[in-house]
Amino acid sequence: MTISATDVTFDESRMWVSLSDGRTLGVPLAWFPRLDNATLEQLGAVQISAFGLHWEALDEDVSVSALLEGRAATGDAA
């Protein structure tokens, strides 16, 4: 079974990712500096795909597999 994101929301310090298997992951925005420094409008412009999350304007990609493994962004991408 492939697990994918179905929804993404944010609070002041976390990104909440709902998954197709019913789980919801909460990860610190500090793990992803581009997201941590983004406006609410920019955060809301997320594109959800079978592989993960993409923010075109922020040049940020976060894979579901990285979130499941607890990996923060490293270098220019997650």
| pLDDT tens-digit map of 27-69 | 999 999 999 999 999 999 999 998 899 999 999 999 999 999 9
> What's the CATH number where 10 sits?
3.30.2020.40
The values of phi and psi at residue 35, to 5°, are: -75, -40
Number of domains in the chain: 1
Question: Looking at the domain assignment, is residue 76 inside a domain?
Answer: no
37: domain range?
Answer: 5-68
Question: Looking at the domain assignment, is residue 78 inside a domain?
Answer: no
User: Does residue 15 surpass a pLDDT of 60?
Assistant: yes
Question: Looking at the domain assignment, is residue 33 inside a domain?
Answer: yes
| Cα–Cα dist 66/60, whole Å | 13
Cβ pair 47, 53 in contact under 8 A? yes
pLDDT for 77: 41
Q: What is the DSSP letter of 31?
A: G
Question: Looking at the domain assignment, is residue 44 inside a domain?
Answer: yes
Tokens found for residue 24: 């919801």
